[in-house]
Structure 1
Amino acid sequence: MTDRTYVAPKGGAPLQTQLLTGRAVFTEAYAVIPRGVMMDIVTSCLPFWNDTRLWVLARPLSGFAETFSQYIMEVAPGGGSERPELDPAAEGVLFVMEGEATVELDGQSHVLSPGGYAYLPPASAWRLSNKGSDPARFHWIRKAYEKVDGLDVPEALFLNEKDIAPAPMAHTEGKWATTRFVDPSDLRHDMHVTIVTLEPGAVIPFAETHVMEHGLYVLEGKAVYRLNQDWVEVEAGDFMWLRAFCPQACYAGGPGSFRYLLYKDVNRHMKLSR
């Protein structure tokens, strides 16, 4: 696989001379958080994380998307946490964009470099540190694991996308492909985090309309995305947040690959009210 690049926010502050007009939008069906709004003023901190700040991209929100939260973490050299996850029911996925993050679990250390992926089961008591000389910037996606009688909880995974061959979509000549870190037929998993790649000119040629909630973070390139009834331009560093059943389609704009990190909830019955 060719070397990949990933665009992560660096923060900063806007100039007083900057125009107010931007691409951010929040509707009843979707939200677009462009890279230009991920400034210092909207960062936060977490308990028991040292020398760390984060951007919250998504959180469970009644009437919108309810299954997951998604952060971009920025851990300075020497920073990290001995108690990163305080919710014993929460499973997590990490995806590293810049720097290196060392994850310790069950007495073993795993160094995640750019492209690195970790699946962390609920109640797994993992720890994270930045032992490098540069900030580590990575996604942290969290979901309350939905346990099913007769199915084991998945084991932890430590992978890198460079070691995984993307699976092409049928009838696309490889111009639309998905990098899968988890076997889609493994019903132990109730969420998938994948990387979707569309080559210049490739399209998602119909308005996907389905129950899965989505977080889409653009890692590379640009495209025009159809969200509900609107066409929006997106580029590397932008985030799209879609509630269930929001129609979606895409034209990849070029000149290089358009790639995004995709969250979706899968493999479970729909909850019924009582």
Structure 2
Amino acid sequence: MSTTYYAPHGGHPAQTELLTDRAMFTEAYAVIPKGVFRDIVTSYLPFWEKTRLWVLARPLSGFAETFSQYIVEVEPGGGSDRPEQDPQAEGVLFVVEGEIEVSLAGAVHALTTGGYAFIPPGSAWSLRNRGPVAARFHWIRKRYQVVEGIAAPEAFFTNEQNVEPIPMPGTEGRWVTTRFVDMADMRHDMHVNIVTFLPGGVIPFAETHVMEHGLYVLEGKAVYRLNQDWVEVEAGDFMWLRAFCPQACYAGGPGPFRYLLYKDVNRHAALTLGGAAL
């Protein structure tokens, strides 16, 4: 399985480039193409050194509401000893370029390309780039929904290469999902997986469901159905789907089409707008 993922490097477009682009923001979905990830749209965070980030998604009333997602760029020697200020936030880190060290509960974990970490809420952790080149990783954050009688999940660290992809039934392996968490584990209220389509692989119906999605294309290209539209997407693009937005996919090749997928799971629907799930 490939371990080459697309990661933005910023820069600035020339004055000679066309303004026309594939960026879209609709009532049901958003597409942020890779050409948007320039220097002038980066953000910065408190208590982070030699670090900038691109904010892909954030809770937004009337649209997607459960998560935020960043692409974080940490220069050599950079990082943070206080990365998370919200004690209720859980997080997933996924490295797309370079190497980071995550310290948690007295242990240091080196995450290289394809490295994956789950950080439980209330954790005291730190992150550093001790390598010679910039590191880039996704940081997905969600306010953990506590359920009485169910303990919060513990931290874990792994790499995509150590997780066997699971084929979707009836697809002859053309559609597989790398699942980092057991779907039946009720401790987890979000899943961050990697979905892979080989050329010719499809989502053969318009999925319409309560989970909202963040999809970052790691590799390849495809046409993706978003609500009523078919949209061409490629490595480096990000799609943001609100709950119940119909979606489907056709991967035409020439190589695999792969994306990092967020979805909220395993909790009752909130019965008041903006309220905690009951």
Give the TM-score normalised by structure 2: 0.97
Give the match's secondary structure for 1:84. Answer: coil
Superposition RMSD in Å: 0.7
The alpha carbon displacement at 1:266 in A equals: 0.1
In the alignment, is residue 10 of structure 1 matched against residue 9 of structure 2? yes
- Point out where structure 1 has 5 or more consecutive residues left out of the alignment: none
Determine the structure 2 residue equivalent to 1:46.
45
In structure 1, what is the Cα distance between the partners aligned to 2:78 and 2:155?
A: 23
In the aligned structure 2, how far is the partner of 1:209 from the partner of 1:42? Answer: 32
Per-residue displacement from partner, 1:207-258 (whole Å, max 9, x unpaired)? Answer: 0000100000000000000000000000000000000000000000211100
Q: Residue 162 of structure 1: SS of its match in structure 2?
A: helix
2:264 aligned with 1:262, yes or no?
A: no
The corresponding residue for 1:90 is: 89
Quote the Cα distance in structure 2 between the aligned partners of 1:66 and 1:147: 17
CA deviation profile, 1:72-101 (whole Å, cap 9, x unmatched): 000000000000000000000000000001
Q: CA deviation at 1:3?
A: 3.3
Whole-angstrom CA distance in 1 between matches of 2:4 and 2:254: 14
Please name the residue that 2:206 is paired with.
207
Percent identity of equivalent pairs: 74
1:162 aligned onto 2:161: yes
Report Cα offsets for 1:163-218 as digits up to 9, x if no partner. 11100000000100000000110000000000000000110000000010000000
**Residue 238 of structure 2 corresponds to residue 234 of structure 1:** no
Map 1:95-134 to 2 at 5 A. Answer: 95-134=94-133
- In structure 1, what is the Cα distance between the partners aligned to 2:190 and 2:2? 27
- Once the 2 structures are TM-superposed, how far is the Cα of residue 4 of structure 1 from its aligned partner? 2.1
TM-score, normalisation: structure 1: 0.99
Moved over 6 A (4+): none
Q: Residue by residue, what CA displacement relative to the aligned partner does 1:29-53 show, whole Å, maximum 9, x if unpaired?
A: 0000000010000001000000000
Cα distance in 2 for residues equivalent to 1:41 and 1:118: 29
Deviation at 1:104, TM superposition (A): 0.1
C-alpha separation in 2, matches of 1:34 and 1:159: 28
